[in-house]
Amino acid sequence: MTKEQKNHFNRDGDVQGFAAENQGQFKPEEEYIKIKEALDIAMADLRNLLKTQDELELNSAETKDVARENATPPLFQLANVIYSMAFATGNISLMEKVRITLSELKRLSDTKLLFRFENFISAGAEYLPSLLTYGVTEETLNSNTAFVNTFGEELKKYSRQKNDHKEVTKQIKLQFKAVDNCIVPFDNMVENKRVSDPAWYSLYWTIRTIDHSPASHVSVKAKVYDAETNQPLPGTILTYSKIETNGKALTSGPDLSKTVKVKSAGGGLDLKSLTTGAYLFTVSYAGRADMQTTVYVNEGVLTRIDFPLNKIA
């Protein structure tokens, strides 16, 4: 499991646990049960896929590497014997075919190493009568051939497992999306608690949004609404400026001051790529008193800000 997968899975698991522990807070109950069942099934499928991925990572290379280690010493010894025989008989082409050092063998890729091993076996079979005086028998050659065959089979198996691993990784990516889709209905249910139970609402979103996403993702989610009716206020003007970096006042730079307009009918606004630091937010809407608040933003952690605006008396 990669670090990114682990962070994502842990976040989804925390939401699943929170939903189970706070069942009474989610209304209506019938809708909650349906959503929770879908999330539990999606999480179980995701867990199984991640387990399969881990098993493939652990097993795919291990047996192949063992077969490679078992084959290298005897095949290197065979190559040295063939080289000695070729040198004694002046067979230059055969010397070139089998000449190699142990360190060179160890540096070769699996496919190139298998090719060299097969060349050694081929040369040994061709010159077996001459090699008998050097202690290489048909039994010796058969034993080395078995090492090569085992390595070749494990290499094929490893290649298949690598393909399986890629396929499982693709499925995991899709399953994470499926889990996220199962969580979105909980977000919608929790939204009803934004005003009536802000502490519980904030607790849910603290669990829901903790992930280590790149700073290019959404940094701040703001919502502007009427303090009395809770109705959203699209068209609100929001100005934000970075006022502190590492304890020092900010006097210049791209984050110094920006103004945006809330266009969403729901009164929501997403701000992306804000760097870590303190920001002063000011919102203005016709017929409502301006509101200001200072919020500290951390890169990779989603910050939510509510702006309940009061009517001007």
The range of the structural domain enclosing residue 113 comes to: 1-212
| Shared domain check, 165 and 249 | no
Say which residues have a Cβ less than 8 Å from residue 134's Cβ, sequence separation at least 6.
Answer: 81, 84, 85
Domain termination site, one of 148, 179, 212: 212
Residue 184 and residue 235 share a domain? no
Greater pLDDT, 54 or 67: 67
CA angle, 232 then 280 then 284, to 5°: 35
Domain boundary among 163, 188, 212: 212
C-alpha distances (whole Å) from 111 to each of 56, 68, 129, 148, 152 are: 20, 11, 29, 12, 9
pLDDT digits (tens, 9 = 90+) for 45-59: 999 999 998 887 766
Of 126, 120, 119, 124, nearest in space to 136 by CA = 124
Beta bridge partners of 249: 244
Q: What pLDDT sits at residue 41?
A: 95
Grade residue 82 by pLDDT with cuts at 50, 70 and 90.
Answer: very high
Of the pLDDT bands very low, low, confident and very high (cuts 50, 70, 90), residue 214 is: very low
CATH number, domain of 251, equals 2.60.40.1120
Judgement on whether residues 183 and 232 belong to the same structural domain of the protein: no
Secondary structure of residue 51 in the 3-state scheme: helix
**How many angstroms from the chain centroid is the CA of residue 265?**
34
Helix (H, G, I), strand (E, B) or coil at 275: coil
Q: Buried b / exposed e across 154-170, counting CB within 10 Å, b at 16+?
A: bbeebeebeeebeebee
Predicted confidence (pLDDT) per residue in 114-153, tens digit: 999 999 999 999 999 999 999 999 999 999 999 999 999 9
